[in-house]
Amino acid sequence: MNSIVKIEKLSHKYSASWAIRDINLEINQAGVIGLLGSNGAGKSTTMNILCGVLKQTEGKVYINGIDMSKQPQAAKKQIGFLPQQPPVYTDLTVDEYLAYCAALRLVENKKIKAAVEEAKERCGIAHFSTRLIRNLSGGYRQRVGIAQAIIHKPALVVMDEPTNGLDPNQLIEARKLIKEIAQEHTVLLSSHILSEIHLLCREVVMIESGRIVFSDTMDAFNNYVQPSSVLMKMENPPVAAELQKVAGVTRVEFLTERQARIYFSGDTDITERLVSASVQHEWRLREISLDKGLLDDVFKQLTTQSIQ
C-alpha cells in the first residue's frame, strides 16, 4: 500500500543558504496532521514543494505513490489546497465558482454537477448555491474554500491557517468541518497557533531552522514537558496571595473568577497540600487536575533544542 505522503531527504536552497535540509516524512492514513513552524523555519517552503508550486533542490516527494518531479500533473490531482486567504472569486455564485474549480481539477464534464453538489453538502453551503460569494460571511467563504479543496476527492488536503480571522462561532464550525473532512482524507494543517494544533491534530510535525525537530503524536507533544501547574476550580476562591502561601506554589494565575492555574516547582505532593488548604480555609474545591505541559513551553523547548 502506498503512503499518502512520502518525503525523502528533501532540501531546498535559496541563493547560498538552505531553507530546509534533509526533511524526511511519511504519512500513511487519514486524519489531521499538524505542521508547526515559526516564521522562516522552512514550513512554507516545505508546503510549496509538497503542493508542486516549487521545485526542490534535492530529495523526493511522493503523493499517493506518485513522484511529484516525474508526474507532476498526476501527483497534483491527488492534492487539494486551501491557502491562508481562500482563493474565491467574489463575483461568482457558489455554484459557478465550484464548477470552475472542478474543471480546473480535471473532473470529467459529466461528473462536475454531482461533484459540486456533494462538496456543497459536505461543507454545509448547499443553501447558498446561487448566492454571490461577495455576499457571504467570512466563515462561509472559508467553507467555500474548503469545498474547492475537496471537490475532486484528493488523497491529501493541505490547509494553511484555515481558522485564521474567524470569530468564535465560526471557529467551532470550521474545526468541526475539518475533523469531518479528515475522516476520509489526510489533512495537513499548517498553523503557528499551538492551541489550534492541539484541538485538531492527532500527530504533529514541527520544523525549525529548516529541519524537523519533532514528529510524533499529539499526546507525545503535550507530554514533552512534565506538568508544572495545577488547574483548580473553587466555589469560594481566595485571593492569589493566599494560594501562594501553600508550600511549593510559585505563581498563581486566575483564568476565570473561580478557576486558577497554580504553578509549582517539581513537587509531587502539591495536589494533596492544595486539597488540605481548601478544606482548612473553606475554599470549597470542586475540581483539581494536573495541567499537562503547556504547548507554548513545549514549543520553546523544542525550538531551543534545535538551535543548540
Q: How far is CA 173 from the centre of its chain?
A: 15
Per the domain annotation, does 11 fall within a domain?
yes
270: domain CATH number is 3.30.70
Whether residues 17 and 58 share a domain: the answer is: yes
- Does residue 96 share a domain with residue 237? no
**122 within some domain:** yes
What crossing angle do the helices spanning 138-150 and 168-181 adopt, rounded to 10°?
Answer: 10
| CATH number of residue 1's parent domain | 3.40.50.300
Q: Are residues 221 and 299 in the same domain?
A: yes
Instruction: Say if residue 238 is in the same domain as residue 303.
Output: no
pTM score: 0.75
156 forms bridges with which residues in the sheet? 79, 186
Ranges of beta strands (E only) in the chain are 5-14, 17-27, 31-36, 58-63, 66-67, 79-82, 156-160, 186-191, 203-208, 211-217, 229-234, 249-254, 259-264, 285-291
Return the pLDDT at 61. Answer: 96
**92 shares its domain with 134:** yes
Q: Same domain, yes or no, for 300 and 284?
A: no
Beta strands 285-291 and 229-234 are: antiparallel
**Same domain for 12 and 147?**
no
Residues 132 and 256 grouped into a single domain = no
Q: Distance (Å, rounded) from C-alpha 58 to C-alpha 19?
A: 12
**Residue 305, in any domain of the structure:** yes
Dist. CA 200–CA 162, nearest whole Å: 11
- Residue 304 is predicted with a pLDDT of 64
> What cell numbers appear for 256 in the block?
476565570
Mark whether 252 and 208 lie in a shared domain: no
User: Nine-digit cell at 127?
Assistant: 443553501
The confidence score (pLDDT) of residue 272 equals 87
Residue 148 lies in a domain: yes
Q: How many domains does the chain have?
A: 3
- Examine residue 200 and state whether it is found in any structural domain, yes or no: yes
Residues in the chain: 308
Residues of the chain with pLDDT under 70: 1, 223-227, 266-268, 291-308
In a domain, residue 175? The reply is no
How many Å apart are CA 204 and CA 296, to the nearest integer?
Answer: 14
* pLDDT tens-place string over residues 262-298: 988 865 678 888 999 999 999 999 988 876 555 556 6
Integer Cα distance of 249 and 88 in angstroms = 52
Q: Does the residue 97 lie in any domain?
A: yes
What's the rounded Cα separation, in Å, for the pair 16 and 70?
26
Rounded to 10 deg, the angle between the 109-123 and 94-104 helix axes is 120
Q: What is the pLDDT of residue 226?
A: 59
Within this chain, do residues 208 and 251 fall inside the same structural domain, yes or no?
no
Examine the domain organization and report whether 128 and 266 are in the same domain: no
Q: Which domain holds residue 142?
A: 86-152
Within a domain: 29: yes
Alpha-carbon distance of 287 to 275, in angstroms, equals 10
Q: Are residues 236 and 135 in the same domain?
A: no
